[in-house]
């Protein structure tokens, strides 16, 4: 028997994620040259290279408490680092290109921060289903870990799906990222 008890106040108010930006170098003096360099040097994700991506490093401090022959997850505190990988020109740009670049990278960074918010939402949901989770007949607190893993898999898949759906819209013809690329390469 599995019970979820949610009487504790939201612990996410007591912790804050860390945001980290990791740049990769690109070269060029025009918008099109910068974009070509992104295509050559951008991070490899899935089937090819991408402009930027967001990932995370998540660790937990958990305290399991054996109770009445079962086990309760009494404490679950996340330690979350949201990592954005973004392009950065390796040399100063001409003023007109710098203006294009500033608009482009501001938009790309905003896009990646939405992915970061999705990750943060997932962690908060994990926290909500974790704290107070109780599994009967689990005096060694082993079954509860399996139950938690099962529940977390569904939340992780939900986050990945939302992220893919967001990218599909943003990168489609006329989407926000598509517009940012066109403005960079066409000098608009």
List, for residues 63-82, the tens digit of each pLDDT value: 999 999 999 999 999 999 99
Of the candidates 167, 137, 148, 146, the one whose C-alpha atom is nearest the C-alpha of residue 74 is 148
Of the candidates 175, 183, 171, 170, the one whose C-alpha atom is nearest the C-alpha of residue 100 is 183
Of the candidates 127, 129, 171, the one whose C-alpha atom is nearest the C-alpha of residue 17 is 127
Q: Sort 57 into a burial class: Cβ within 10 Å, 0-12 / 13-18 / 19+.
A: exposed
pLDDT at 14: 78
Token representation of residue 157: 């898949």
- Kindly report, residue by residue over 152-166, the tens digit of the pLDDT: 999 999 999 999 999
Phi-psi region of 172 (alpha: psi -120 to 50; beta: other; left: phi over 0): beta
- Place 6 in a pLDDT band, splitting at 50, 70 and 90: very low
Cβ partners under 8 Å of residue 131, min gap 6? 6, 8, 11, 73, 74, 75, 76
* Orientation of helix 176-186 relative to helix 31-41, angle to 10°: 120
- pLDDT exceeding 90 applies to what percent of the chain? 87
């Amino acid at each position: 028997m599995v019970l979820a008890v949610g009487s504790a106040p939201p612990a996410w108010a007591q912790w804050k994620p860390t945001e980290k930006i990791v740049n990769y170098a690109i070269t060029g003096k025009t918008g099109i040259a910068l974009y070509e360099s992104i295509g050559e040097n951008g991070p490899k994700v899935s089937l090819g290279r991408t402009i930027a991506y967001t990932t995370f490093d998540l660790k937990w401090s958990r305290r399991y408490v054996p109770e009445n022959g079962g086990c309760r997850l009494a404490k679950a505190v996340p330690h979350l680092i949201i990592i954005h990988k973004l392009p950065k020109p390796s040399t100063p740009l001409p003023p007109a290109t710098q203006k294009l670049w500033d608009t482009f990278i501001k938009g790309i960074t905003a896009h990646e921060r939405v992915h970061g918010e999705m990750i943060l939402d997932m962690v908060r949901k994990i926290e909500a289903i974790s704290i107070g989770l109780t599994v009967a007949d689990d005096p060694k607190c082993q079954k509860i870990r399996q139950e938690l893993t099962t529940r977390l898999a569904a939340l992780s898949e939900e986050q990945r799906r939302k992220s893919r759906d967001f990218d599909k819209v943003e990168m489609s013809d006329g989407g926000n990222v598509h517009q940012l690329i066109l403005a960079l390469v066409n000098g608009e």
